[in-house]
A and B are shown apart, each in its own frame.
Chain A
Amino acid sequence: MSRTQRNYAFIVLVLGLLIGIVPTYSTSLETLALNTSGLAIGLPFSLAYLFVAWLVMRISPAWPKAGWLWMPLAVLWGGFAVNSFVYLAGSSLSTLMRQLDASAFTASLAGGLPKEVGKALGVFLILAAFQRLNRPWHGFFVGIAVGLGFTVVENLGYGAVGGLYNPDSDAAGVMQMWLTRTQFGAMMHSIYTGIIGWGIAYAMFAAHRSTVWRVFTALVWFLFGFGLHFAWNAAPADMVVQVAKMIGLTVLSYATFLFLYVRSWRWAKKEKAASAAAPGEGGQ
């Protein structure tokens, strides 16, 4: 890709970030103004999330050697630009599910679609903007970082809201919300977008493939990640079905994440060994 084309991807990326600031405030952070303990308690949790996720990625040989900027941009895209899509969807997707008599899937579509679409676009733009991000495992890590940014900002908002809904105190509600969201489905956004990111990068960087194959591959992986999110958000009336669904999805999501993490580790390690044996090939 020429420098100009990479710059275009970068410009779109930065524009998306700037545009996302206003909707992020109105969709996630407005409640922090009503409940300041949401920020005071939420920030240490956020930093802990960022540190743990960074550590999990950094110890892997698949960690992209592409400078320092890609990860902050990925986290910021997840935290801010994605909310433009949430804002754009508004309440119409929830309304659509009620119009279709599918209220059990209201959060599935309204929560899953705009978030995963926004996060997937961010992964694509970051991979397009950084020359040395050019392997499937790079897409996996970019996806994890984008999902991480979204998780942190969403949890800050949810924490503040949790404080408002607590009948006793703001602080108790914030703490309870962070602990609950950490206990049940921690880092799910990173898992979904990591899976999607792997697929997008695979589609972008596999050699000698047709355009149709690339689009199809990216779409299949997107549908897999989005499908997990869609199913996780579904709310069946039967509590037994709900619990079984959550256990099954947790196992499937974490197992897929682990599989891709191990595969990234192995493939990156092998490529480094091959690259050392045959200098001049490849482009890690």
Chain B
Amino acid sequence: MVSATSRSGKTWWRGGCYPKQPRESCTNMSATKRRSEPSLRQWQDRPVWPLTVILGAVVVAVLAIVIPKAVSAALPAVSDSKPAVELTLGSSVDGEWSVIVTQSDGAPLPCHEISAGLMTGWECKGSEVKSHTFETPDAANNGDPAQPIRRIIRAANLGPLPEGGAVSAEGPLTILRLDQQESARVNPELDQGHTITGFLVTNPPGVEGISYVIVVDGSEEVTADVERSLSQSLGAKGMV
């Protein structure tokens, strides 16, 4: 066996001779040349990896995923351990339109953030609220303002495009309410008694060119809280 020494004096490479290789044939090369030109002798061509190593790699890979999963299962659920947050819809930039959703008594609606794909999502008293922001589409201004709502409801539920529903519009706020039958068609996993409602807020104060769709998969109570908060917020700005 040989070792090579780098300019710093540290041994960076050991070995190089096969066990039965003539010693002179592997010591002819200078250390500098070995470093700059990796010799064929630096690699093993046909290493023996037993089946246990192959299966061991699979087990290690699975454990790398399962262990954090087990840690998560052992920790208290987020809704149990973390305080509820306020449900704030609209822009996160100071001075631009935003609204905190409140209950009928004026207290903030207690929610917990949830994963919602490309949307921002909350779980609030058993209902799901999801918000999506986008550049104001032409359809909202010139065409059917309910169409963006239908499309985002489809995206939020990964279901078919909703048909029908009651559309109401006032100022920048358009609301699409699906009945229970259509809600269940769009999302068959929806809780009993829950419906799907979509809210489109087009170009609210201070955020020209931007629209928001808020989708509520939930109870009548939470849907009413969102609707009232949006209406009051936009009304207070003199737009509804």
**Could you list which residues of chain A lie within 8 angstroms of chain B, going by C-beta atoms?**
1-2, 5, 8-9, 12, 30-31, 34, 85, 88-96, 98-101, 103, 106, 109, 113-114, 117-118, 120-121, 124-125, 128, 131, 134-135, 161-162, 164-168, 204-209, 267, 270-271, 274-275, 278, 281-283
Could you say which of B37, B72, B118 contacts A96, with CB atoms under 8 Å apart?
Answer: B72
Chain B contacts with A in 73-94, Cβ cutoff 8 A = 73, 75-78, 81-82
Find chain A residues with CB under 8 A from B148 CB: 167-168
Contacts of B39 in A (CB 8 A): 274
Residue B169, interface by CB 8 Å? no
List chain A residues, Cβ under 8 A from B213.
167
Q: Is B42 an interface residue (CB 8 A)?
A: yes
Query: Quick check: A206 and B68 within 8 Å, CB to CB?
Result: no
Shortest beta-carbon distance, B40 to chain A, in Å?
4
B211 closest partner in A (C-beta): A167
Q: Is the CB of A30 within 8 A of B16?
A: no
When distances are taken between beta carbons in the complex, the residues of chain A under 8 Å from B81 are 99
Would A134 and B43 count as touching, CB distance under 8 A?
yes
- B41 and A99 form a contact (CB under 8 A): no
Given contacts A88-B62, A167-B151, A207-B42, contact A95 B78 (CB under 8 A): yes
Select the residue from B38, B44, B54 with max chain A CB neighbours within 10 A.
B54
**Complex CA–CA separation, A274 to B34 (angstroms):** 12
Q: Does B107 contact A (CB under 8 A)?
A: no
Q: Which of A85, A165, A206 has most chain B Cβ within 10 Å?
A: A165
Chain B residues near A207 (CB-CB < 8 A): 15-16, 18, 41-44
Q: Which residue of B lies closest to A122 (CB)?
A: B61
Whether A117 pairs with B61 at a CB distance below 8 angstroms is yes
Cβ of B239 under 8 Å from chain A: no
- Interface membership of B236, Cβ < 8 A: no
The prevalent SS among residues of A at the interface is helix
Pair A99/B76 contact, Cβ less than 8 Å? yes
User: Known contacts A95-B78, A161-B155; is A128 also within 8 Å of B73 by CB?
Assistant: no
Do residues B69 and A93 form an inter-chain contact, with CB atoms below 8 A?
yes
Partner among A1, A109, A167, A281 whose Cβ is within 8 Å of the Cβ of B68: A109
Chain A residues positioned under 8 Å from B24 (CB to CB): none
Q: Kindly provide the distance from the CB of A204 to the nearest chain B CB, expressed in whole angstroms.
A: 6
Q: Are A92 and B73 in contact (CB under 8 A)?
A: yes
Determine if A5 and B49 form an interchain contact, defined as CB atoms under 8 angstroms apart: yes
Nearest CB of chain B from residue A242's CB, rounded to whole Å: 13
Task: Say yes or no for B7: interface residue by CB 8 A criterion.
Answer: no
Closest CB of chain B to A210's CB: distance in Å? 10
Given the known interface contacts A98-B78, A167-B140, the answer about A9 and B54 at a Cβ–Cβ threshold of 8 Å is yes
Indicate if the CB atoms of B61 and A85 lie closer than 8 Å: yes
Inter-chain contact A117/B57, CB cutoff 8 Å? no
Q: How far is the CA of A233 from the CA of B38 in the complex (A)?
A: 36
Partner of B37 from the list A113, A114, A165, A270 (CB cut-off 8 Å) is: A270
Q: List 10 A-B contacts (CB under 8 A).
A: A5-B51, A34-B159, A88-B62, A89-B68, A99-B78, A117-B64, A167-B137, A206-B44, A267-B38, A283-B45
